[in-house]
């Protein structure tokens, strides 16, 4: 009866990991060979792992990544100009601690989104809050927020997330409201958080995509000077997969 009450109290206090470990200990006949300190340490370790696992799953769920990608699964065999040593160095996520950015450019289908989501996945596993948005969706959300009065709340959300991914940047020239909103998003994050920009458009053509030279200079100055750059090349990975499937 006492053990059942202990289990109920652990669950009521949301110590589910500890409750599971306690239940398992009760079912192990040789557990009493361990000291109290050793048994208690096992309970604490189990709850810590349970809590961290829940946190990681929550961060991944909130990130809304387009692809379930992992750093460990990146394919280096296909020549795409991905430097493995650079990827592994960035996998430590020190660049996020240092509020640096990543810019990934290259033709369609070469794996830009996968690479960005792989970095984001590792960031979540390291405990950083991440948010993925395609550029058209980002601007749509901001426009809706301006109309319904939630603009400040949304912009604070974009400002506070530790890693923001903006995918498909530059697919179409930005309108005047869009380039001004992008500047606000980037300005709010400068020196506080990190951003990954994914684009088919080479960095040298971003001025043309943004439109206004003054705003373009302001945006690029805040993004590029401390950014790690990946300029991917090669054939579409999707075409390769389709060819193998025939």
pLDDT at residue 242 above 60? no
Q: Kindly report which listed range (41-50, 91-100, 141-150, 219-228) carries the lowest average pLDDT score.
A: 41-50
Total-model pTM: 0.80
User: Count of alpha carbons within 13 Å of 164, Cβ hemisphere only?
Assistant: 24
Can you give the pLDDT at residue 1?
A: 56
Contacts of residue 27, defined as CB under 8 A and 6 or more positions apart, other chains included, come to none
The residue among 22 and 127 whose pLDDT is bigger is: 127
pLDDT at residue 245 above 70? no
pLDDT band at 167 (very low <50, low <70, confident <90, very high): very high
Q: Kindly report which listed range (33-47, 131-145, 158-172, 192-206) carries the lowest average pLDDT score.
A: 33-47
Integer angstrom CA distances of residue 123 from 31, 54, 96, 131, 188? 37, 15, 8, 11, 20
* Mean pLDDT, residues 128-141: 96
For the chain, percent helix, then strand, then coil, each to nearest 5? 60, 10, 30
The residue among 105 and 225 whose pLDDT is bigger is: 105
* Mean pLDDT, residues 72-80: 85
pLDDT band at 246 (very low <50, low <70, confident <90, very high): very low
Integer angstrom CA distances of residue 94 from 5, 194, 220? 45, 11, 22
* Mean pLDDT, residues 8-21: 74
Q: What percent of the chain has pLDDT over 90?
A: 59
pLDDT at residue 243 above 70? no
Q: Tell how strand 227-231 and strand 101-105 pair up.
A: parallel
* Mean pLDDT, residues 5-9: 74
């Amino acid at each position: 009866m006492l053990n059942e009450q202990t289990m109920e109290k652990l669950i009521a206090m949301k110590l589910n990991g500890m409750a599971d470990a306690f239940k398992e200990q009760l079912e192990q006949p040789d557990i009493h060979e361990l000291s109290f300190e050793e048994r208690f340490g096992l309970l604490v370790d189990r709850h810590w792992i349970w809590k961290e696992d829940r946190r990681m799953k929550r961060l991944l769920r909130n990130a809304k990544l387009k692809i379930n990608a992992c750093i460990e699964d990146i394919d280096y065999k296909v020549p795409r100009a991905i430097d493995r040593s650079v990827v592994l160095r960035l996998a430590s996520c020190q660049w996020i601690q240092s509020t640096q950015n990543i810019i990934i450019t290259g033709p369609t289908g070469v794996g830009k989104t996968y690479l960005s989501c792989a970095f984001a996945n590792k960031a979540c596993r390291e405990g950083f809050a991440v948010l993925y948005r395609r550029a058209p969706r980002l601007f749509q959300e901001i426009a809706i927020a301006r109309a319904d009065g939630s603009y400040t709340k949304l912009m604070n959300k974009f400002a506070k997330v530790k890693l923001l991914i903006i995918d498909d940047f530059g697919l179409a020239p930005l309108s005047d409201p869009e380039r001004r909103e992008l500047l606000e998003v980037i300005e709010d994050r400068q020196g506080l958080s990190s951003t990954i920009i994914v684009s088919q458009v080479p960095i040298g053509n971003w001025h043309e995509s943004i439109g206004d030279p003054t705003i373009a200079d302001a945006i690029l100055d805040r993004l590029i000077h401390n950014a790690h750059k990946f300029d991917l090349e090669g054939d579409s990975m999707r075409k390769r997969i389709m060819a193998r499937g025939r």
